[in-house]
Structure 1
């Protein structure tokens, strides 16, 4: 009896497989080139391997095809890294829905700014954009500079030549930055909790990728029964517990100050730093916007948490990766490092040894180095969207409802737009070289209506962290980038610890 049921089940799957591949949409998808798959499973079994090998597979397909399709069971994914295609999708106000993979984020981020779509996304985007206005960044720049100086001090306290495991070292400080600026709270009192949070972000990233390439785990119930599903439940307790603590602390601050600072969100009349009920008045942050709106009954506690979860993750992990790769590249390119150092020394000298917003804006060579870093190692190396209607990409028609993989890393290293693409050359971003380049051949912060809301914040933070490190230390490589192995993740991520040597300057 069991064999009969199994055979019947297989027969139904094969019939459905035929229907999917020979229906209108399936026929259009299968006109695209791509690696061969097998019935029912498609290419899913190729990705049933380590995350390091998944990364290698994606890179291999990128090198082999400018546009290709894969099937994860009955789900087609079309990948492209041609700038014209990227522009077609990203510049459109129609193709703004995130793909199926982002559904895996919902237990963690629910439907915050990253994962929402339609009217909800438009409302939240409009609500949160003022939190990243240039005037607000100017208000927060001292926090960025302070955190860069804290990193310098922690290295100086060790003395001699310090070898650091870069990512956790940088992550600790970028998490401090996003909490003090966007959330308005300090992490100094949270101790081990913030270490648990950073570790949980990494664990959750791995679980999301693991689940995405295994279609049998796309079902929430089946996934919850697996060991990975049980692990995700524990990881979510840490992630949500941390952000709920952040929200509770900020709400408590406003309760103790009778909410009077929320009334100044638009006027920004706070000018002193007096203490109220023993609590220092703090800058008005993104979280304050959410709390103020919630007091009018327009947001629930869950609404606030999903945005805090989104920005806590996106605001610290992505920036930390950018800073790490910038330091590694500068360590390996001594001449470029020295050019950056001379520029920073000159600016510091003009400002009595201090950094300011004005001085950070007056570092064009460092900025070119950071832009070139994000070309070679874009923190967000891919974007996934779902087509809202049939769309032409290159010479193929991709049907409505198809998951589109927009390969940012692929276009950033395409030799048609970037001669010698593997070479670190900040002069690629000189004004005369930018002028005639395809606008969608460089999109480290995405582009179009769903571009990164915090891109100016991120670049400013990278400058504020890298500048004092270069000013105070000579950077020397311990692990070379040619030897760094990567793993598939939500953002670009090395699969092992990466180290570097900091040698104090004899000034």
Structure 2
């Protein structure tokens, strides 16, 4: 047999071997979600690793994550290209990871948000986060939160009036109304500006944020887009630069205006408390986040203008996470006409049933279904060790819907959060605002906002649906935040008292 023939046969055999090997792997993949493999044996493909498992759009991604959590209720290992990632769906592991100082760092997937959010609290390296968190925390204390209630109440009334156009009509989509109200709220309390997004019913800022979040997820599951050299030459990269430029120019203009206001107040000897806000209220100017940050910048030079913009942008993203939770309330209404509604901190604290409704909604529909961390040192987790540099994804969505920790998990039952029942709940099986030292700084802010707008709407209107879809049949997706695939709609009629 001549050398050419031998070489040809060798190549043919190699190709055949690769085809058979690839076919076997695909067969295993087909069986993977029917008959789980060992957590270390999920087949990977050359160059892309397990990225193929998450092909098919954001809805398919969430479904695969959910199924991985069911098949591997403790942990499993996957990889995106050459980057291994451990998916954790055990409250015990989630607790250890969230509490240990060895996993304060966010994992490499958050790097894709740093071009936009820089050193904001979500994306900042641990060393920067530690310092900035302490500086920002006072902006979310009880005094600051109290000063936000009046703004929330004003915007909630505007929201109710905007929805009145649908009174006694057919079902309408609620998301855009709640989304724009949330954006107005965070811009008012974080930046001290009246964006009037609800009045215009369209907001380029909100659209830019949504598109940037979508881009982050697309890049995270596409290892071939990880190198900046490649990503920056794609349409996604071009779009990202355009949206970031718009948002950053918006922030720069606000910072410039606020600096000028602070200088003017200083020159005129005027207190921020004596000035009317953009809604015509005498509303605690010092409690506006951006003004507090600018004072820190002036007093001790700790924060640059870029730092300030990063933190304000991050607050907007954090609110966007929780604004989606309000969309579901059309199916879970609360009305208590035993007293006149008044929006003080005391009255909000007394809305205990509403709080249980909100908490149960966040259990079934957590705003951030997964979060990522990185081990900065070897970390012992039961029978295995997370090596230094290992990326971890915490499957909050999977834990929240696990029958192991929540009886009849897809049943909507607010009484799960009665104090006596929740006291027996598995620790760290409920993490709507993450947990540990790097939890959500705006959790109390979000709860107050959700209570305020929900109470306002439900005090005035009765919300109904022509067809209530069971939780198990709701189609969900996520672009960093959880969303429903189909429009969230309901009918609205005036409440007869």
Report the TM-score, using the length of structure 2 for normalisation: 0.86
**1:154/1:424 Cα in 2 relative to 1: closer, same or farther (>3 Å)?**
same
Of 470, 489, 495, the match for 2:479: 489
The alignment status of 1:283 with 2:285, answered yes or no, reads yes
1:233 aligned partner:
241
The offset of 1:41, in angstroms, is 2.2
Question: 1:502 aligned to 2:496?
Answer: no
Residue 479 and residue 123 in structure 1: after superposition, are their counterparts in 2 closer, same or farther (change >3 A)? farther
Aligned residue for 2:355?
A: 367
- 1:193 is displaced (CA, Å) by 10
Structure 1 position 56 matched with structure 2 position 44: no
Match of 1:341 in 2: 335
Unaligned stretches of 5+ in structure 2?
A: 1-10, 12-17, 19-36
In structure 2, the partner of 1:3 is: none
- How far, CA to CA, are the matches of 2:243 and 2:432 in structure 1? 29
SS in 2 for 1:448: coil
**Aligned partner of 2:228 among 220, 224, 241:** 220
After superposition, the C-alpha distances for 1:351-374 in whole angstroms (9 at most, x for unaligned) are: xx4332211111111111111111
Query: What's the CA shift for 1:243?
Result: 2.4
Report the number of matched residues.
457
194 and 241 in structure 1: CA distance in 2 versus 1, 3 angstrom threshold: farther
- Whether 1:93 aligns to 2:101 is yes
RMSD: 2.7
The answer (yes or no) to whether the contact 2:463–2:493 under 8 Å persists in 1 is yes
Contact kept? 2:95, 2:428, Cα under 8 Å: yes
Following the alignment from structure 1 to structure 2, what is the Cα–Cα distance between the partners of residues 460 and 429?
A: 17
> Which residue is equivalent to 1:19?
none
The match for 1:418 is 406
In 1, Cα distance between equivalents of 2:103 and 2:441: 18
Compared CA separation, residues 220 and 466, structure 1 to 2 (3 A): same
Cα distance in 2 for partners of 1:261, 1:188 equals 30
- Structure 2 distance, partners of 1:44, 1:404, is 16
Aligned-partner Cα distance in 2 for 1:395–1:370 = 37
Q: How does 1:38-49 map to 2 (within 5 A)?
A: 38-49=45-56
Contact 1:478 1:499 in 2 (8 A): no
Q: Return the offset for 1:89.
A: 0.4
Task: Supply the distance in 2 between the matched residues of 1:135 and 1:220 (Cα, whole angstroms).
Answer: 43
Partners of 1:394 and 1:260 lie apart in 2 by: 63
1:210 aligns with 2:204: no
Q: Distance in 2 between matches of 1:434 and 1:281?
A: 37
**Retained in 2: the 8 A contact 1:372–1:426?**
yes
468-477 vs 295-304, which moves further: 295-304
Match of 2:250 among 220, 236, 242: 242
Q: 1:96 to 1:31 in 2, by over 3 A?
A: farther
Deviation at 1:110, TM superposition (A): 0.9
Aligned counterparts of 1:134 and 1:211: Cα–Cα separation in 2: 39
Indicate which of 288, 292, 314 corresponds to 2:318: 314
Instruction: Provide, for residues 127-158 of structure 1, a one-character-per-residue CA deviation record: whole Å limited to 9, x for no partner.
Output: 00000001211122111122222211222355
CA distance in 2, matches of 1:174, 1:32: 41
Distance in 2, Cα, partners of 1:305 & 1:275: 21
- Aligned with residue 148 of structure 1, among 153, 156, 168: 156
Q: Which residue of 1 aligns with 2:22?
A: none
Deviation at 1:403, TM superposition (A): 0.7
How far is 1:376 from its partner?
A: 0.6
With over 3 angstroms needed to count, the CA separation of the structure-2 counterparts of 1:391 and 1:189, relative to structure 1, is closer
Give the Cα separation in 2 of the matches to 1:189 and 1:406.
34
Does residue 301 of structure 1 match 2:305?
yes
Q: 1:100, CA displacement in angstroms?
A: 0.5
- Cα distance change, pair 490–184 in 1 and its aligned pair in 2 (3 A): same
Within-5 A mapping of 1:71-220 = 71-161=79-169, 163-188=171-196, 195-220=203-228
Aligned position for 2:25:
none
| Structure 1 residues not aligned, in runs of 5+ | 1-6, 8-13, 15-29, 265-269, 331-336
CA 45–75 in structure 1, closer or farther in 2 if over 3 Å, else same:
same
- Tell me by how many angstroms 1:212 deviates: 0.9
Q: 1:251 is matched with which residue: 247, 255, 259?
A: 259
Alignment partners' CA distance in 2, 1:260 and 1:91? 48
Maintained 8 Å contact 2:400/2:430: yes
Moved more, 33-42 or 108-117: 33-42
Q: In the alignment, what sits opposite 2:72?
A: 65
CA pair 161-412 structure 1, distance change in 2 beyond 3 A: same
- SS of the residue aligned with 2:479? coil
Shift of 1:378: 0.7
Contact 1:162 1:503 in 2 (8 A): no
Does structure 1 conserve the Cα–Cα contact (< 8 Å) formed by 2:460 and 2:495? yes
Deviation at 1:469, TM superposition (A): 1.1
